[in-house]
């Protein structure tokens, strides 16, 4: 079987580079190249596509939303995201929105080739550097961040569920004033302005649940 492949990138140079790399691959046939996601959406309505390689940073519509939209209508199309630099949360978001893999553009020809074949085979794939990015926080971020105490975690969790100070006090059989103290301590510990920023911070750092 030959996989009909589309490349989407707003840099023509990158398109031709990738096209060159892929031209060697037997069962990958590049049928179209686009510089915009909107045009791609039109195209896949009228044409069969098996594989899409797309830049994540696109004008108008970003890669994550584009991927989501495509997968809703065409779940069988294999979509691999690409970018020059990246960060953990972006990669995870892309995968959560249906992406089948993520490759950094500095990946070697072999990496590209392997990732593409494995993705077609139904796996979720990452290029080497992406793998290290995904499990990065272990060495840097997390060591600097102080942990929540048990009680603080309880309270933060209830805060994330929309509970007020009074409701939390009732839930945990504490005084209103005690919960207030904990709240203040948590905000000070992480130098946050208010609960909104706090919850965002805690969730992004996986410190709740």
Contacts with a second copy, residue ranges (CB under 8 A): 64, 68, 71-72, 75, 88-90, 92-93, 95-99, 118, 122-126, 128, 131, 134-135, 137-139, 142-143, 159-164, 192-200, 203-204, 206, 208-209
Binding of residue 178 to DNA (CB under 7 A): yes
Burial 107-125 (b: 16+ CB within 10 A, else e): beeebbbebbeebbeeeeb
Phi, psi of 32 (to 5 degrees): -155, 155
Select the residue interacting with DNA from 60, 92, 177, 203 (CB under 7 A). 177
**Least distance in angstroms from the C-beta of 67 to DNA:** 21
Closer to DNA at the Cβ: 31 or 208? 208
- The CB density around residue 151, as the number of other CB atoms within 10 Å, is 15
CB of 194 to DNA, least distance (A): 3
With CB under 5 to 8 Å by kind, the binding choice for 166 among a second copy, DNA, none is DNA
Question: Which of 135/188 has CB closer to a second copy?
Answer: 135
Contact of 60 with 69, CB cutoff 8 Å: no
Nearer to DNA, 76 or 150 (CB): 150
CB contact set of 114 (below 8 Å; sequence gap of 6+) = 125
70: phi then psi, degrees, rounded to nearest 5: -65, -45
User: How many degrees, rounded to 5, is the angle at CA 32 between CA 99 and CA 38?
Assistant: 60
Cβ 123 to DNA shortest distance, Å: 37
Sole window of 34-42, 53-61, 133-141, 192-200 interacting with DNA (rule: CB under 7 A): 192-200
Instruction: Please enumerate in sequence order all residues whose Cβ is within 8 A of that of 44, keeping only pairs 6 or more positions apart, or say none.
Output: 6, 70, 73, 74, 77
Q: Hey, which residues between 137 and 176 contact DNA (CB under 7 A)?
A: 149-152, 164-166, 172, 174-176
Rounded distance between C-alpha atoms, residue 140 and residue 61, angstroms: 32
| Residues in contact with DNA by the rule CB under 7 A | 149-152, 164-166, 172, 174-178, 180-185, 187-188, 193-195
């Amino acid at each position: 079987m030959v996989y009909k492949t589309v490349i989407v990138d707003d840099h023509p140079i990158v398109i031709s580079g990738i096209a060159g790399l892929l031209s060697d691959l037997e069962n990958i046939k590049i049928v179209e190249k686009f510089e915009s996601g909107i045009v791609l959406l039109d195209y896949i309505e009228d044409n069969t596509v098996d594989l899409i390689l797309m830049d994540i940073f696109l004008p108008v519509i970003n890669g994550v939303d584009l991927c989501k939209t495509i997968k809703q209508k065409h779940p069988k199309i294999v979509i691999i995201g690409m970018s020059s630099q990246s960060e953990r949360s972006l990669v995870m978001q892309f995968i959560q929105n249906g992406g089948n893999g993520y490759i950094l553009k500095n990946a070697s020809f072999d990496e590209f080739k392997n990732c593409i074949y494995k993705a077609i085979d139904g796996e979720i794939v990452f290029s080497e550097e992406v793998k290290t990015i995904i499990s990065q926080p272990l060495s840097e971020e997390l060591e600097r961040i102080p942990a929540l105490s048990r009680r603080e975690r309880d309270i933060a969790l209830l805060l994330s569920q929309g509970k007020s100070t009074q409701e939390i006090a009732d839930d945990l059989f504490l005084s209103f004033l005690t919960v207030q103290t904990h709240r203040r301590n948590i905000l000070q510990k992480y130098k946050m302005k208010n609960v909104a920023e706090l919850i965002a911070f805690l969730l992004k750092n996986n410190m709740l649940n």
